[in-house]
């Protein structure tokens, strides 16, 4: 994998601090009902980089990890429950008015301020800011304000930006994103999401020969939060 060097850097750092690390393929894991091991060494903490989708798709090869997880025999740093907020359809649960009663007033305000309006693409009645809508009609009418995405992908894969797409291509994307459509069959559930303002600013850029110029660029801090506290970017 192109990220393999990342594992080696982490291994070197941990071992310099006195923490032994084993880099292992999931197929090298063994579980005897009491402890998880890899290459003959007991494993206490797993930092898993295998996607949960791949674990599901190749369940027999990942059985030792799953069994150890179920038994509570090992601590998994990014455990299987993290899949819930990773799937973008989760935003549809948060922003749908019919679920509002599930959240206290403080959380509803937090959702309103920070979570973009999101719906699973399907032929249903829904709402936008409390007003009833026919979802497919709304998606077609508000093309320039919306984006279509597969719910369970990452890195921009499969994203269609309404404001950069011709009407005929937008219509095709909607049809393919519906249950039974070509893209839905390939990638599962699709979502439609409201366009939100993106922060931009001018930054210095060092080009050829050490020359500095200035470029208008996107601002993405990717903040790291641990237990509610900011820990870096």
Q: Residue 97 and residue 74: Cα distance in Å, rounded?
A: 39
233 residues of the chain, pLDDT tens digit each: 788 899 999 999 999 999 999 999 999 999 999 999 999 999 999 998 888 888 988 999 999 999 999 999 999 988 888 888 889 999 999 999 999 999 999 999 999 999 999 999 999 999 998 899 999 999 999 999 999 999 998 778 889 999 999 999 999 999 999 998 888 887 789 999 999 988 899 999 998 899 999 999 989 888 888 888 999 99
Number of domains observed in the structure of the chain = 3
Q: Residues 149-193: pLDDT tens digits?
A: 999 987 788 899 999 999 999 999 999 999 988 888 877 899 999
Q: Are residues 91 and 162 in the same domain?
A: yes
Q: Are residues 62 and 133 in the same domain?
A: no
Residues 6+ apart with CB under 8 A from 43: 22, 29, 35, 36, 37, 68, 74
Q: Residue 145 and residue 42: Cα distance in Å, rounded?
A: 52
Residue 59 has phi, psi (to 5 degrees) of -60, -35
Domain final position from 41, 59, 84: 84
What stretches of 18-155 show up as alpha helix (H) in DSSP? 52-57, 63-71, 83-86, 89-95, 105-114, 135-141
**Strands 131-134 and 125-128, sheet pairing:** antiparallel
Q: Are residues 96 and 79 in the same domain?
A: no
The structure's pTM equals 0.76
Q: Are residues 184 and 116 in the same domain?
A: yes
Domain final position from 60, 84, 108: 84
Question: Do residues 105 and 122 touch, judged by C-beta distance below 8 A?
Answer: no
Q: What is the 3-state secondary structure (H, E, C) of 161-200?
A: EHHHCCHHHHHHHHHHHCCCCHHHHHHCCEEEEECCCCCE
Q: Residue 28 and residue 4: Cα distance in Å, rounded?
A: 17
Q: Are residues 78 and 105 in the same domain?
A: no
């Amino acid at each position: 994998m192109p990220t393999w060097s990342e594992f080696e850097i982490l291994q070197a750092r941990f071992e310099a601090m006195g923490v032994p690390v084993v880099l292992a393929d999931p197929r090298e894991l063994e579980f005897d009902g009491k402890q998880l091991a890899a290459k003959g060494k007991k494993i206490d903490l797993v930092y898993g980089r295998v996607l949960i989708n791949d674990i599901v798709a190749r369940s027999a090869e990942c059985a030792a990890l799953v069994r150890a997880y179920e038994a509570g025999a090992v601590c998994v740093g990014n455990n299987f429950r993290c899949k819930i907020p990773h799937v973008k359809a989760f935003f549809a649960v948060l922003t749908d008015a019919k679920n509002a009663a599930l959240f206290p007033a403080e959380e509803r305000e937090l959702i309103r301020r920070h979570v973009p309006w999101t719906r699973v693409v399907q032929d249903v009645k829904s709402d936008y800011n409390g007003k009833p809508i026919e979802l497919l009609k709304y998606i077609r009418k508000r093309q320039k304000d919306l984006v279509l995405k597969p719910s369970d992908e990452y890195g921009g894969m499969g994203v269609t930006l309404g404001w950069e797409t011709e009407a005929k291509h937008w219509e095709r994307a909607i049809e393919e994103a519906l249950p039974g459509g070509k893209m839905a069959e390939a990638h599962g559930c699709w979502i439609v999401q409201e366009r939100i303002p993106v922060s931009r600013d001018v930054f210095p850029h060092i080009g050829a020969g050490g020359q500095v110029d200035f470029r208008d660029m996107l601002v993405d801090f990717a903040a790291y939060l641990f237990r509610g506290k900011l820990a870096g970017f």
